[in-house]
Every structure is written in C-alpha cells, then in structure tokens.
Structure 1
Amino acid sequence: MNEQRNLLLALLLSGLVLLGWTLISDRYFPTANKPSTKVVDGKPVPLPNPQAQPVATGPLASQDRGRALAASPRVRIATPRLAGSINLKGARLDDLVLTTQRETIAKDSPPVRLFSPDGAPEAYFAGFGWTGSGIVLPDPNTVWTATGDMLAPGKPVTLSWNNGRGQAFAIQLAVDDAYLFTIRQTVTNTTRGGAVSVRPFSFVTREGQSKDPSSWANHVGPLGVFDRAADYSLDWKDVDKAGAAGVARSSTGGWLGFGDKYWLTAAIPDPKAKVDAAFRADGGRYQAEFSPAAAIVAPGRQTVATSYLFAGGKDASLLDTYDQRYGFDKLDHAIDWGWFIWFEKPIFYLLDWLFKAVGNFGVAIILLTILVRALMFPIAQRQFRSAAQMRIVQPKMKALQERHKDDKVKLQEEMMKLYREEKINPLAGCLPVFLQIPIFYALYKVLTLTLEMRHQPFALWIKDLSAPDPLTPVNLFGFLPFTPTGFLHLSVLAILLGITMWLQFKLNPAPVSDPTQKQMFALMPWFMMFVMSPFAAGLQIYYIASNSITILQQKWLYSRMPQMKDAR
C-alpha cells in the first residue's frame, strides 16, 4: 500500500513539474530553434521558413520589395558575406542580404535578408545625416551623387551633395570583408560669410519587432553598451511606452542597435566621442540613434565625423576582433553570454576549434564532452568513492540512529566519529554538482545561441543541431501524417538520453533510503526524456555522450573497487 502511495506521489510530482516546466521554459530557457526539418516516411525533409517571404500587412508597407528597390538610384554592395545596395535617395543602407547564411537548410533556400527599403514589408535600414539651424540640410528626399557604382572591400564610395548656399556635404562609406561599414561624414563651408553649426547623426530603423523570442537567457530587441556597461534592461515595451520622446542614453563611445537571436545591427560612434543616444518608437517603427556634439564650421573650413555600422551575424570571434582592432566597447556583448561569460567563451572557442579540426559540429560536441569529463574525472572519482563508502557504512549508520534516536547531539558526535574512522567526507559528493552548474549552463548558452551551430548537420537524419531532433516514434517515424509538438514530440535522441540516464542511475552507488526519493529517482530518467525532447539536438547529443561516459567511468571504478559494487 505504501509503495503504491509513493509511486502515485512521485507520478503526481513529476507531472506537475513537467507541466510547469513547459509553461516557463520558453520564457526563461528557450529550448531550440524552430524545427528546420520534418520526417516523412522515415526521411528528413526541409521545412519552409514562413519568415523568409513576409507579406505586406504592416501599416508602413505600401509596395513589394522589388518595386521599392527600383524606385530610386542605387550603388551596389558586394563583399564575401554581404550583397545589396545603397539608396542614393536619402543616403540609406536599406538593401542587405547575408550571402553565407540561408533562411532554411534547403538547397534552394534564399539568403537571410537583413535590410529592406522603406515602404516595403518589414522595412529595416540605416542612415546618416546632420541637424543644425540656419543652414539648408540634406533630408530623406535628397538624391546624392556617388563616386562609383559599387561598394566593396578596398573600394569605398563617397556620396556628395551641395545645398547651393555654400555648404557641401559628403558621406564616404567603406566596408570590410565581413559585416562592418566605416562612415566618414564631412561638411565643408565654402562661403566667405559666417560660420555654421552642424551636428552629425546615425540611426538604425526597423518596422516591427523581432520574430525571435526574448527570454531571461537570451535578450532580443533594443540593446547597447553605454559607458562600458552592456544594457539588456530595455525591451520593446519600454520603447513603445516612451514613444517618440524616446529612451535617452548618454555615453563616451559604446554602441546601440537591435539584436535578433543570430543577427545584429549596431550604430557605433567613434570610441572616444561623447554622444547622446536614444531608442524611439512611432506607429510600430523602432529607431536607435546617436549624435556626437555639434561642430562649428568656420568659412573655408570643414568638419569630419567618423562612425561605424555593424550589420550581420553575431559571429563571436569576429565581434572580438572588432573590439580589439577598433577599440569598440564590448561589441561582443551583443551575444547575451550571461553571468558566466568568463567561462562560456573559452568553451565556445574550444568547441569552435574542434569543429574546424574535424569538420562536423556533432562530432566536435562529443569530443568536447570527452574533454570536459576527462578534466572532471578526478572529482567524479572522488564523488563516486565517497558515495560508495557512504553506502558501505549504511548499516553502521542505521545502528547509530537506533542507538541514539533520543539524543541528537550524541548521534551527531558518533556519526562524525564514524566518518573519521572510515575516512569519509560527507560533503565530497557536493563539489561536482556545484562545478557542473556553470559547465552545463555555459554549454546550454554555447549550443543554443551561437551562430556557428545554426543549421549545422550531424549524421543520418539530424540535419540541424540547433533544432530539435525531428525523428519520433509517436508518429511512427513520419509514416503517420501528423507532427507532435512540445514534450509530446518524444524524439529518438530524447529516448536515448532517458535510457543512458537510467543506466547511469542504476549504477549510481549513492545511498537513497527514503521510498519516495527512490521512486523519484526511478522516474527521473523518463521524466527528463520528455523535458529534453524539445531542446536542440546538439544539447541532447552532449547529454547522451556525457551519460555514456559516466556509465563507462562507473563500470571502470567498480572493476577497481569490487567491494563497492557488492555494497550496492
């Protein structure tokens, strides 16, 4: 009767935790990208990306992208990672695709589009200009003259315009072989009259919010670094609430912009410049902007302001390189590494190095798991030995508990004496648990947030390690015409994870005397099977490999200490 009650209680608690985890996981721990494949008749088939071809439903969308691009003269952009064009009307970067990143894993998938022109669906663009008083300034309708027809690495383009009243404006744009644009804004006062005051500005504007969810573990939306401190506190609602008045910030150097899960657009002032910055919202449109101090341009003189624009993928090593080369303030924090950045980045670089060495991200994850477990083996061995010794002395501990059940002080004294005699440290098993917390959290971050794992295949049916495993027996491996979702999508990798965890617990010598705890430990592997099923396949592979290595370690330790195996 008691066994049935304990089993029922364990099942009830597991069910409550499972339902609770489902409700909070998307908010605090996004599990994976949306599925990129589904299994049909036992074979993986790429899924279309509904975000790749947006429809013109927004209040600001008045025409399709092709018509918007053809409505004004343009300068072509061509780099190893970018393609697009500069709009000479308004001097805007409003047409940009990432040529090395695809919307889906399908062979005919279009590249990821970052920028779209104003008036097209999901408009997204960057621009540059000046404010001032008593001077005719270029505006969004100004048509600029370009010195060339293509912007490429080592081939800058200068846009020029003269207001006809003695002031000439120029915007020189240069681009590297990755995602960084360098902008030089020049105002020349050719008059013989008075001086003029001008203040340059840069902005990034997007229509609508990111389709990627923001969570406690990964900030998506408005973000920036101000006075060397990364600000993840703002979200879309804060900017909406501030409206056109804006959320103001001031800083020396830094940067601000909008981040998606994998993509970033950031307006970056000169690292030594003092700027006023703001995030604004108006009618479903969001803008990040900054302005350095105004400059007085005397007759016959000119003023130059240098700034930068990052528009592309959150490539971790590339962001670090820009910080070092240009002196940017924590551009690498565009990736929401979290509290353990000091630990996560070395793990990322090790994983990336393994990937480049073996050419398969799944194999790199397994090799990383082996390295982590090897480094932790001395600690795991100590934990195993301590737990096994605790199991061996269980009869003596029970005898002490019976003998001194009415005298807790005496019981504690006798138990400590027993520990000393048997050379047992009761806290030895806690250290590995605490050490694994930052390791597991770091791996969760690295495997679910980094651009490098996006759309990376492993083997067989696993074509995207950043998405859940698509193969599940629930629909008979794709032979039934439906696809279960959430924790009901009990994938093959999740089942393997549950089996390896069950084998690990079965070999675990940890003493468990409470019947309810025994039932909970017995159910835990199968409970975790459902919890982990929606997670990225790469993370599941890590846990399967880790469990398997632990099983081998326990087998080896039992072979070295047979008396502990007998005490199980």
Structure 2
Amino acid sequence: MDDQNKNLILASVLSFVVILVWFLLFPPEEPQQLTPEQAAAEGNLLPPAADAPVAQAATTAEPAPQPAQTAARIDIDTPRLAGSISTMGGRIDTLSLKDYRQTLAEDSDTVQVLKPQSADYAYFALYGWAPGGDLGFEDVPGANTIWTVESGASLTTSTPVILRWDNDKGLTFRRTISVDENFMLSVTQSVRNNSAAGARLAPYGRIERHGEPDDLKGFFIIHEGAIRQTGEELTELNYKKLRKLDNDARWGANADVEEVAGNGWIGFTDHYWMTTLIPQNDQPFTSVMKYNSAQDIYLTEARMPTVDLAAGASAEVTTRLFAGAKEWETIKSYEAEDGIYNFVNSIDWGWFSFLTKPIFRLLHMLNGMIGNMGWAIIALTLIIKAVLFPLAYKSYVSMAKMKELQPEMEKIKERTGDDRQKLQQEMMQLYKKEKVNPASGCLPILLQIPIFFSLYKVIFVTIELRHAEWIGWIKDLSSPDPSSILNLFGLLPFATPGPESIFAIVSLGVLPILLGISMYLQQKLNPAPTDPTQKMIFAWMPWVFMFMLGSFASGLVVYWIANNTITFIQQYTIMRSQGYKPDVLGNITSGLKRSSKEDK
C-alpha cells in the first residue's frame, strides 16, 4: 500500500479517534447561575407558572393558594406506574416506574420520572384554562386551584379519576384523567357555562421542569432537553439553548413558539425517560418552549385555540400525556396504533438514523430470538461482517499480495533512499507489474466507521441495553466493564476507582484488555507502513484504543472484540487460500526482537 493510501487510512482513523475523545476533552458547559428577578406581569391568555409571583394589581395574575386550603392526593397505581395526583392544580406530579431501578442493587429505588414542586428538581405536568374577555385568572382553574374529587378513589387502568371545580359565576369545570397499561395518561378538560352570559377562555397543558435534571448526562451523542413535533418537523433544544430564550425574565419573552395544524406533540426528553404532551392528531395548537431565569424553570406548553362559550353550552378537549421509559416497542405501538405522528423519533437516532434504526431493529429481533443482548451483539457483528464480506474478500486478497511484496518494497525503499519521487514511481511500477491495487483495503475500513458510530449510538441511547446482562461479571452492557486490573479482577478486597478518579483510565477491565490484544493480532496480518512515523502510530494504536475504550459501554467493546476476532479469522483464511501463510506468532516474535534492537 503506497504512502498516499496509508495517509488516507491514517487520517480516517485519527479523525475517528478525535471524535471519540471529543466529549472527554470538551465537556459541556455548566449552566450559568443567574440572579433571580421579579417576573413581570404577562399578557392575556398566557397562563402563569405554577409558582409565579402574584402581582396584586394585575388582573391577569393568578391568585396564590390560601394557607387554609389543603391539597389532597389521589394515588396512581398501575402494573407499571406508581405515584399520585395533587388536587392543587390537578397536577400529575409524582410518578415512578415500577419496572426500572436506579442501579443494579436489589434494594435500589425505582426511577422517579415526575417530582412535586416541594421536591428538589421539581418536574410535573399540569393543565388549566387561560381567561379571555371579561374573565380573570381567578375565574378559571389554573396551577394553584384546589379541585374536588368527584369520582375515583385512585387512578388505575380500569378506574379513571374525575375532578371538579366551580367558579361560583356559573362556570363548572371538570377534568377526567385515565391511564393505560403502559405510560400513557389521557386528560380530558371540560367546561359548562351555566351563566346567562358568554365566556371566552382557552385550555392548555404544560410541563414544568425546575432546574436542569439531576442526572443530566451532557454528552454530545444524545439530546437532553425540550423536544417537539410540529407537523413534519422535529425540533430539539437542549437546556443551554432553552436558556437563551430568556433575556428579561418575562414569561413568553423570546419564547420559541410554533403554530401547529396537527400531528404535533411537545415535552422534555432525558437519556432514557420522556414526558410529552400529545394533543389529538387533528388538533391545532400553539407549541411553546420557554425558560424563566427568575425561578430557573424550563417549560413546554400546548395551548389550544380559544373557545367562545355561549350561555348553556359546553366544551371539552382531550390531551394525552406520555410519562415513562422510551421503550422502542411501546413508543412504536403508540405511533402505529394511536397515530402519534413520528413518535418513534423521540428516541435520538442521530445523524446516521438510516443506519441506527435498522441496526437497532435487527439487534432487538436477535435479542428476542436469543434472549441475551450480549450474544445478540455478537450475532449482529456476524451479520454485518457477512454483508461486508464481498468487499472484505477483495481487501484481504490485496493485503495478502501486499504482504508477499513487502520484501521487494523494502528493497526499493533502500535503493531509492530519500528520493520520494523515485520511490513512488518504482512502487507504482511494482503494483502494476504484480496487478495489486493498494487502495482496495481502504473501503472496508471506511465503511466500518459509520457502522461503529451507529452501533455506539444504539448502545448508548436505547433503554433496551440499560442493565442488560451478558455473562458473569457483565451485568450492564450500557456501562463500562466493572472488572479492574488494579484489584486483580476482583481477587483483591478493595473497590476499583470511580470515573472521577485520576486512576480510572488505568483501571482496565477484562474486555478492554481483550480488545487491545485482538486489535494487535489483527494488525499483524496487515502490511506494515513504509513511513517510520506511520509505522509507530499504527503500532501504538491497539494499546491507545485499549485505554480509551476502557470507559466505554461494555456492549460496544463486545462488538469491537467480536469484529476484530471475525476479521482476523476471515483475513487469515483468505490469505492462506491465496498461497500466503501468515505466521502471526512469528510476526509478533520478530516484531519484539526488532523493537529490542532499535531500543539498543
């Protein structure tokens, strides 16, 4: 392989390395701590935040709850959800996932998706009506309204809850909340005008997040923050971008507002969890993303069109609320059966979605057949290698011929000395004479890069690999190998250093060590670069990758070990079929001897 093609491979591999370590060298910026300011009064038909300060002189400000009022709670109990609804505002503000725990420990707490306003990192959903015309916020239910339970002692899959509130001016409001067997709640808001005059008002749904989530990953490879579908367009704003929406602490100032004709939804997405407001498919609404620096609140809203309610008339609107785990099958079923447009793209498939989606579907199918995600990853690797085999075959045949030409290439290099032009000319003549194409080995390497990134995306993003067990000590394929050379892989009675320790990089587990060995053996079958600098870089690369990938997800390292092993077997077999008999052990021994002589 000539220097030009070696440079191509070297540039590709080094670019690959740069991207892999980017998030380590350039961690996400810490959120700016802003001085709280008094929030200004907002315009008509803009619902205030749950804890917005009350402006006594402003008719648009919602009154604060009276101290004597008591907010009761209604339990939520389904096969997959546990939590409660507060009668203050009818907030859905406490919700845990029964199927998911924080850690692998048996006594670990379940994952809590929603938290009440009194808790740290409060995160909840609420609904209400914004007043118009002659109505004020005291005339419509909002974030601080105390509702009465009309029916339903608890919310289950078979028993909905109905809340009621009368404004003592002829308007009666009801809210019916139901839930399915997974993570979808349905909230129907209705109002009846029993007065003699007409009324003008607008329903809304809102998700409030107080501060950034405490488990924010902040990796460039995954989106965490606000997400919405507006017809055909999917929009994502992370928390840094959301903070830029606020420049004077007013609700609505510089908000990201979109009018949606239908097929829309909006909410917040985390690494594995999501909370999303989903109006009916044909429901037009105003989609809003906001941030309030005065209280450090991130907010997404679905504002429905204003209703002109005649005397004696009624109106209602239904909005769904997804609050749970981003399980592919569950989300896909909501998209297919309930018609939630593009809902499966709430999972962050990334730029290579044309690869990540089919790779995940195949991996998911293999896991269903095998019953073990680790073996499914290895099976996936076999399938990928089989698909790329025609290209790999040509590459390995070319490498076998290049290996045979290695002694002749060394003679040319000695004969031409520092005359690089003459070196290139004689090399090209040799390739032409022996009918060897040195560039044929580059394409399989280049194709592996997007496949690797797509698989890394799948392993890192999808919840199906979270806490997925493989064999022995590998209990979570989405986490790094927990074994460590520092405690002799568990033989010594002390824990390994955590990721924050300076010793974490040398705390190599079994899988990273196997990766380094497999890369080293596979590399020994390839022609050595003629350039000394390139030769040194390639020689160090297996060990650099061994340390780099030691902190990566075990599932990704399993894939790479399997890929290297299969590549080695394929290449070794094809080389022997071409009459070249690679002596891998001899190559290693001679390589060690040469290194020893060069050191002397």
Fold shared per TM-score above 0.5: yes
Larger deviation, residues 414-423 vs 437-446: 414-423
Q: What is the rounded CA distance, in whole Å, between the counterparts of 2:408 and 2:443 in structure 1?
A: 25
Checking the alignment, whether the CA contact within 8 Å between 1:86 and 1:93 is kept in structure 2 is yes
Quick one: structure 1 residues 337 and 26, their matched pair in 2 at CA, closer, same or farther if it must change by over 3 Å?
A: farther
One-letter amino acid matched to 1:560: S
Q: CA deviation at 1:238?
A: 3.2
For the aligned residues, what is the CA RMSD?
Answer: 3.2
Match for residue 208 of structure 2? 205
Quick one: structure 1 residues 300 and 421, their matched pair in 2 at CA, closer, same or farther if it must change by over 3 Å?
A: farther
How does 1:527-566 map onto structure 2 within 5 Å?
Answer: 527-563=544-580, 565=582
Q: What is the rounded CA distance, in whole Å, between the counterparts of 2:237 and 2:266 in structure 1?
A: 13
Larger deviation, residues 361-370 vs 231-240: 231-240
1:515 pairs with 2:532: yes
1:339 pairs with 2:380: no
Checking the alignment, whether the CA contact within 8 Å between 1:81 and 1:179 is kept in structure 2 is yes
Match for residue 245 of structure 1? 251
Q: CA deviation at 1:199?
A: 0.4
Per-residue displacement from partner, 1:363-417 (whole Å, max 9, x unpaired)? Answer: 11111112211222222111111222234345666788868998969976x8667
Match for residue 146 of structure 1? 150
Q: What is the rounded CA distance, in whole Å, between the counterparts of 1:450 and 1:284 in structure 2?
A: 29
One-letter amino acid matched to 1:496: L
Checking the alignment, whether the CA contact within 8 Å between 2:186 and 2:321 is kept in structure 1 is yes
Q: CA deviation at 1:269?
A: 2.2
How does 1:115-126 map onto structure 2 within 5 Å?
Answer: 115-126=114-125
Match for residue 58 of structure 2? none
Quick one: structure 1 residues 146 and 429, their matched pair in 2 at CA, closer, same or farther if it must change by over 3 Å?
A: farther
Checking the alignment, whether the CA contact within 8 Å between 1:387 and 1:511 is kept in structure 2 is no
Q: What is the rounded CA distance, in whole Å, between the counterparts of 2:552 and 2:396 in structure 1?
A: 29
Aligned length: 513
One-letter amino acid matched to 1:111: T
One-letter amino acid matched to 1:268: I
One-letter amino acid matched to 1:195: G
Per-residue displacement from partner, 1:29-51 (whole Å, max 9, x unpaired)? Answer: 9xxxxxxxxxxxxxxxxxxxxxx
| Identity %, equivalent residues | 37
Match for residue 382 of structure 1? 394
Q: CA deviation at 1:25?
A: 2.9
Match for residue 596 of structure 2? none
Q: CA deviation at 1:280?
A: 2.4
Per-residue displacement from partner, 1:502-554 (whole Å, max 9, x unpaired)? Answer: 1111122x341112222222111111110000001111111111111112112
Q: Which has the higher contact order (CA 8 A, sep 6+)?
A: 1
Match for residue 87 of structure 2? 88
Larger deviation, residues 197-206 vs 82-91: 82-91
How does 1:222-261 map onto structure 2 within 5 Å?
Answer: 222-236=226-240, 238-239=242-243, 242=246, 243-246=249-252, 247-252=255-260, 253=262, 254-261=264-271
TM-score computed with the length of structure 2 as normaliser: 0.78
3-state SS of paired residue (1:223): strand
3-state SS of paired residue (2:277): strand
TM-score computed with the length of structure 1 as normaliser: 0.82
Per-residue displacement from partner, 1:427-456 (whole Å, max 9, x unpaired)? Answer: 322221222122111110111111011111
Q: What is the rounded CA distance, in whole Å, between the counterparts of 2:576 and 2:428 in structure 1?
A: 29
Q: CA deviation at 1:313?
A: 0.7
Q: What is the rounded CA distance, in whole Å, between the counterparts of 1:264 and 1:288 in structure 2?
A: 13
Equivalent residue for 2:333, pick from 317, 321, 325: 321
Q: CA deviation at 1:79?
A: 2.0
1:351 pairs with 2:369: no
Match for residue 35 of structure 1? none
1:312 pairs with 2:324: yes
Match for residue 41 of structure 1? none
Quick one: structure 1 residues 391 and 507, their matched pair in 2 at CA, closer, same or farther if it must change by over 3 Å?
A: closer
1:368 pairs with 2:367: no
1:424 pairs with 2:427: no
Q: What is the rounded CA distance, in whole Å, between the counterparts of 1:95 and 1:235 in structure 2?
A: 23
Q: CA deviation at 1:200?
A: 0.5
1:175 pairs with 2:182: no
Q: CA deviation at 1:241?
A: 5.4
Q: What is the rounded CA distance, in whole Å, between the counterparts of 1:19 and 1:489 in structure 2?
A: 22
How does 1:259-298 map onto structure 2 within 5 Å?
Answer: 259-276=269-286, 277-281=288-292, 282-298=294-310
Q: What is the rounded CA distance, in whole Å, between the counterparts of 1:399 and 1:504 in structure 2?
A: 25
Q: What is the rounded CA distance, in whole Å, between the counterparts of 1:173 and 1:286 in structure 2?
A: 24
Q: What is the rounded CA distance, in whole Å, between the counterparts of 1:390 and 1:172 in structure 2?
A: 74
Quick one: structure 1 residues 179 and 332, their matched pair in 2 at CA, closer, same or farther if it must change by over 3 Å?
A: same
Quick one: structure 1 residues 476 and 407, their matched pair in 2 at CA, closer, same or farther if it must change by over 3 Å?
A: closer
Checking the alignment, whether the CA contact within 8 Å between 2:268 and 2:274 is kept in structure 1 is yes
Larger deviation, residues 418-427 vs 299-308: 418-427
Quick one: structure 1 residues 545 and 398, their matched pair in 2 at CA, closer, same or farther if it must change by over 3 Å?
A: closer
Quick one: structure 1 residues 143 and 114, their matched pair in 2 at CA, closer, same or farther if it must change by over 3 Å?
A: same
Equivalent residue for 1:504, pick from 500, 522, 527: 522
Match for residue 98 of structure 1? 97
Q: What is the rounded CA distance, in whole Å, between the counterparts of 1:496 and 1:566 in structure 2?
A: 21
Q: CA deviation at 1:86?
A: 1.5
Match for residue 51 of structure 1? none
Uncovered stretches (5+) of structure 2, i.e. residues with no partner: 1-12, 29-50, 53-68, 588-600
